[in-house]
Amino acid sequence: MKTASVLLLMLGCSVNVFTADAQSKSIKNLKKLNQNLVVDGQLKDWGDSLSNYNPDKKIHYALAQNQENLYFAIRIENRGQQEQAMRNGITLTFNPEGKKKETYSLTFPSPDRDENSLFVMPKADRALTEQQLKQEDMEERRKADLLKLRDIQVKGFPDVETDHITTANTYGIKTVLQFDDSGALVYEAAVPVKMLHSDLNSKPWVFDIKINSFAASNNKDGLKPPGENGGMGGMNGGGMRGGSMNRGGIGNMGGYGNQGNAGKAVEIKDKFMW
């Protein structure tokens, strides 16, 4: 009987040690900075690459902090995810573990307010010329659209009196979307630490990064998510399909269509210590 009790006690201790070790490994540390980062979508201040990679989502991301700001960056290579981010925004939500009432979030671009958050294709009643459908023209339009994005949706910040601010806000919240030289979509954001009004060092913080899903309320102009049926045929697809006014993604022109899980939210959750 004593032998069995000892074995059970040893087993319990082993489980506790294993659990504690697993939990400690799952908690990362925010990168410490000695200077402010330039929020410009270039990632030069982050070094050669972003420090975290999610193999399931195939997304690079990083979080860092100094005495003044919390910084966030994400790099999106998948074309379907890029369009999803431009249409519906990227939401960063964070709170001290176990304290959901102290939750902060910002969404950029804000699909509810920012008309330019939706990468609108030419309407069905417009003549589509070959020039309009050239890929280089589409790429230039995508880059130009990013420069127009201004609306940020914010929640949980006591100092902010409204749910929507612009990129020219006076709170010090900064966001930017930009394409890098390889065609990846880069999102950078900065939030002043003083706006959190919370004990940063007492426990881990939960960070939720989400490329938002396509929703009916955000589906302006009758557009469907990229890859759904009823869209334009693309350069090799032969014009618009008959029998439907619903338009989806472009076919064989840079990978809008056939994105598999196109339209579903892409979400990454992580825990960090300040």
List helix spans (H) across the chain: 2-26, 79-88, 135-147
Tell me: the pLDDT tens digits for 17-69?
A: 333 333 445 899 999 999 999 999 999 999 867 999 999 999 999 999 999 99
What distance in Å separates the CA atoms of residue 212 and residue 267, rounded to the nearest whole number? Answer: 8
Question: Which residues are 176's β-sheet partners?
Answer: 188
Domain annotation covers residue 11: no
Domain annotation covers residue 261: yes
Q: Which residue has the higher pLDDT, 130 or 233?
A: 130
Number of domains present in the structure of the chain: 1
Tell me: the pLDDT tens digits for 240-271?
A: 334 444 444 433 334 444 444 557 999 999 99
Domain that holds residue 67: 29-273
According to the model, what pLDDT value does residue 216 have?
Answer: 36
Domain annotation covers residue 2: no
Domain annotation covers residue 19: no
Domain annotation covers residue 21: no
What distance in Å separates the CA atoms of residue 159 and residue 156, rounded to the nearest whole number? Answer: 9
> Across residues 141-163, what is the average pLDDT?
93
What pTM did the predictor assign? 0.72
Domain annotation covers residue 22: no
Domain annotation covers residue 24: no
131 exposure class (CB count in 10 Å sphere: 0-12, 13-18, 19+): exposed
According to the model, what pLDDT value does residue 241 have?
Answer: 39
Domain annotation covers residue 220: yes
Max Cα distance, the chain (Å): 86
